[in-house]
A and B are shown apart, each in its own frame.
Chain A
Amino acid sequence: MVALQKVRFYGLLMTLVAAVSLAAISIGSTRVEWGTSVQVIAAKLLPFWFSLGDVSHADQVIVWLIRVPRVVVAAFVGGGLAVAGVLMQGLFRNPLAEPNIVGVGSGAVLGAVIVFTSGLALRFVLALPLAAFAGALFALAVVYALANRGGTTPISTLLLSGIALAALLSAISSLLISLSIVNFNVAEEIVFWMMGGLDSRSWTHVWVSGPFIVLAVAVSLYYGRDLDLLVQGEETAAALGVDVEASKRMLIVVSALLTGSCVAVAGVIGFVGLIVPHVARLVVGPSHRPLLISSALAGAAFLIVCDLLARTLRPPTEIRLGIITAAFGAPFFLLLLVRKYREVSLP
């Protein structure tokens, strides 16, 4: 893609993110005027230049304390999961890798479930993201070690080891949940959380996940060119000058950090990391730096829209966010899988 085209495309995506954010902030059980939303945001961000004027206190609370943080978390999580997807597809050299498919999501869940059931989650805020991160890192390291065959990861070993590990980790999670079922509140909280959702997310959640996700995306961009070479095979990458082991280690840690932070604030949200990079790749091509930037932006827009659907399709109850993304994602994944096997079976 030509440089100017690329910049235009990023601009388009940013406009899209802004537009869907504004829509998500204004639409809901209580309708807020677009102009009011913009005014509240402007006044909160730049208090010296804009005033709140005669905006009602209720609207201020709805916009600034309820909807904006929720949209910001959705943007971080959507962008973070999409970037995690790009990284895993690069690391595994396989366009079908995705945090949940390769079992990394289940690792993060197990970490989180341990923190929930032990009561640690209530004691300090960082326990949940840290545990989710540790679980994700553990799962990713195991799947990578199992699926890596001389520098490539055949799809069969990748999927099989991902499925097996996910099943094992989920079983341990289920065991912990069933043991804690006597405390119905905790169990209910965990089960709901596992279906993914952004209900009642506040600025705390933004601060708990945002910095990690931003840092991880920045590091990914730093390694963008290494990824381009790594997907050509580890030996080739090394021959062309990449410090393969160092890059790989860093990228594994970063993907786990992304998955862990996202799972910690949003629960399990599948398929974002698969759909978004695929669509982005169709537009910007396989080169990783533009792919990472456009996936981050498109992922943010996608999840904001999904979350808007989740809370407006069946009011007053919310549909869990993980259900919405899976409803989009699972058929998409099957389509890709069928196409991939057709390609492979061609003579």
Chain B
Amino acid sequence: MRHLVLVGTSHHHAPVELRERVALDREQAAALAERLGEAVCLSTCNRTELYLAADDVAAAEQQAVAALAELEPDVERALYRLHDQAAALHLFRVAAGLDSLVPGEGEILGQVRAAHEAGTPGPLLDRVFHQALHAGRKVRAQTAIGESPASVSSAAAALAEQIFGDLSGCRILLLGTGKVGDQAARNLRTRGAEIVLAANTKTEREQLEAELARVDVVVSSTSSRGVVLDAETVDRARRGRNLLFIDLAVPRDLDPAIHALDGCYLYDIDDLEAIVSETLAGRRGEAARAEALVAAEADKFLEWHASLEIVPAIASLRAHAEGIREEELRKADGVLGRLDETQRRAVESLTSQIVNKLLHLPTVRMKQAAVSADGVIYAEAVRHLFGLSEDER
């Protein structure tokens, strides 16, 4: 029987200095998977994990550890090794974003999909990855774990969407060249907004005021010691339009009185951090619901995986019974030959029903036993009791 084996490391077990030495790009990951046989390599900035399908768990583990140690010998002490149910549950949690640094982050689902596509999976890995992707999508659809912003820059962008809706066509005025401000502007840009002016201390006052009449969002992160933009200037220049101000500077660049203007919304770094903190608390709350969904999906996988153990025994039992039925019908051919076609079909149907009814309960019980880990014992017992030969296995 094939087993699922996982060997890997993540941000929970290894610092970035170690993780970066075993990080692989898409081509490298694909090549490694191909070298390992039936395998998938998931490598992101937070984790490098090898998923293998093998008959011998210990040998597969050893193979995967050796492959990762080849990249960086020190990684061995930071590796975790899981197999079958635990490995599947881990992958499901990863795909759902429950093992991420920020719970519920959405990027991981795409990374899991890409890893699966680049890998060399057989039926077992195909099944577990498909089910993991399904679990990830289900968690996102049925919980609010990934709905709210989880960083200051995404909170700024989400606020802009809360005011202006679709951001395509929205214009941003960027004051200062701070890294945080740049990140916020970049986040807005990925949602369709455009930066119309990146201003600094040398930008003319008149130009700034002219731009204020055209823009929708102002992101400020200068190193100025005083107020860069006061409420009076804003009120004069904006011409009654709604404006969102994001002040990421400390000390603050924008006059707090701007927020009191009708249609103006000013958020400073503390406001944004409060939103992020609340969001993360909310995500953690949703994580409990997400864990339940993931566990249910993992149980389904376990059921399927366990049935692999028992399916050959069930199949040979049914084939054995069907063989007996056909044989007995053949023996009775002398008597049955006098029957017309309708009567013959009735006898066929009757005997089939008897066989099916007799085998129904044992089949159900064997499947149940497989889930509760007694599958092998039951399979052996059935083979012994019915004298099923090795060929029928």
Do A and B assemble together? no
